[in-house]
Amino acid sequence: MVTRRQFIGTSVGVGLLIGTCVGETKLGKEVSLMKRYNPILPGFNPDPAICRKGDDFYIATSSFQWWPGIPIYHSRDLRNWELIGYALTDPSYADLRRIGDGAGIWAPSLTYADGLFWLVFTIASGSRQHTYECHNFLTTAPDPIGPWSEPIYLNSTGNDPSLFHDDDGRKWLVNTEFVWSPGYPVHRGILLQEYSVSEKRLVGPVRNIFRGTELGIPEGAKLYKHNGWYYLMIAEGGTGYGHAVTMARSRNIWGPYEVHPENPILTARDDPQNPIQRAGHADLITVSGNRVAVVYLASRPIKRRSLLGRETFLASARWDEDGWLRLDSKRPQIELPDFGLKEAPVKSFPERDDFDSPELGLWWTSLRQPIGELADLRSRPGWLILHGTPSPPDSFIRPSLIARRIQHHSFSAETLLDFAPQEMQQWAGLICYYDTRHWYFLHRQFDEKLGPCIALYARRRPIPRYEKLAQVAIPNVPVVRLGVDCDGLLFRFRFALGERGDWQTIGEPQDALVLSDEFVEEHDPIPNFGFTGAHVGLCSYNITGRGKPPAFDWFEYRGYERWLEILQEHDKEGMKG
């Protein structure tokens, strides 16, 4: 018999309360802990944009090919954050069908002015093997929960747009300039153009106002004004381990811009021993006086692979007497800064979803379009019926898949499945998913030779062939339980017969870090965008259109905060080697 914690070790279980590192939560319980640790948005939450309305702070992050688009988080103390909704929920506003892995919704910018929230974002296409297009849009809402207006097309000149509201009432768009002509850098600098609210379009001249620094690949620009100076804060050095935040300023919005004397103002590129890496793409908000909160993306890799993807971190900064912004530390810090704001606890996501609600919880996402009628929570109350489609997990069309972000290096996930397939191309079960070419699928199926069975398939290579990692014949029981444990390095899959049967391992331990940004970008024979981090969830595949659809009684995700412990164990192993 195998217990789920056998492979995890003794550790304190935590709920999905964002921003906490220790303690245990129960369903609906509010948690307040004295000490807080980065990241504030764990798991796949890159390219943060922050704004405030009064005492309320909001963050928007990239969503790429996952739907709904652009998650929005709320906080009143900058340390505890709650997912409150998504900006893009209408597929007619953002058509992501057939969009490539790592393409889709890039780098939103969220601001508040004139009684409205303003959100600009990129819809990108393409891949590492294709020239990608970047179309930029603007949407507004009186409340960040929505409704958001139909997006207005802005331009297609480059990625990472952001909107700046000047104190004279004018509005300006900055975005990266793309140049695909041979002999020139693709990321050629930062473009500036005015936006007309009345005409709902960009107007006037467009100019490249800043070429970036010697770090190269300027993008992710944000424009601010402080004491009569215009400040550009940009990301440079690429999205990998050379990532950094740099700054420049000018008395005139059109430039010329002088660079910060201590650039980069935030990076881990020269600090390989820092457990937080790939720091860059930042935004800032004034808290009070000269105190400034900076949010930025970074990752927590193990063996230089980031299973959780790029997450959102928080840093403290100040405006110095010489007018330059300086962070309390130029290097990413583990412990969260304290801005002296009153503690404002938030409710965590439940560890267990019993599917008792008629709608899926906010933590569930699907690929490229709404899961819609494929996820039925009404026909069998307390169960999720997940109708299969002819699209397997590596399809760009419409896989019947819902998943949630993996937010802990060490975690367990389980589900109870009622499914009795009668044909070979009917599968349903538990999936660990990065993108169409990188996933593990533990599922119940029917095999013509074995009959009812549990199988573990994977795709970890560019070729369109699945690996059969394990297959076990089972009695034709009505329900099975499926589970996976991760210790930060390996997945260990398991199954059990019935509601109370003993757990049994299936297959050998599998490399979890295949589902990492770095593997996708650097180790796959055909590199692709490695932007999204890993997910775990449920999947249903049926090429026949026949048979009773699978039903899931519950899904449980339990995280264990063992990140630093895993790093220490890995370092010890490295020293032994």
Residue carrying the six token digits 């029917």: 446
The token pair at 317 is: 């900064």
d(CA 172, CA 216): 24
In this structure, the dihedral spanned by the alpha carbons of residues 243, 240, 83 and 433, taken in order and rounded to 10 degrees, is 180
Number of C-beta neighbours around residue 484 at 10 A: 24
CA neighbor of 395 nearest in space, from 363, 427, 421 = 427
User: Angle CA(167)–CA(56)–CA(165) in degrees, nearest 5?
Assistant: 20
3-state SS, residue 472: strand
- Which long-range contacts does 471-474 make (Cβ < 8 Å, 24+ apart)? 471/447, 472/504, 472/506, 473/447
Number of C-beta neighbours around residue 118 at 10 A: 21
Residue carrying the six token digits 């008792």: 356
d(CA 81, CA 19): 7
> DSSP of 512-569, one letter per residue?
GGGGSHHIIIIISSS-----S--EEEEEEEESS--SPPPEEEEEEEEEE--HHHHHHH
Among the listed residues 219, 351, 394, 418, the single catalytic one is 219
| Bond prior to 264 in cis (omega within 30° of 0) | yes
Residue type, 465: R
> DSSP of 276-311, one letter per residue?
SEEEEEEEEEEEETTEEEEEEEEE--BTTB-TT--E
**φ, ψ dihedrals at 496, nearest 5°:** -145, 145
3-state SS, residue 576: helix
Query: Is residue 47 flagged as an active site residue?
Result: yes
Catalytic residues: 47, 219
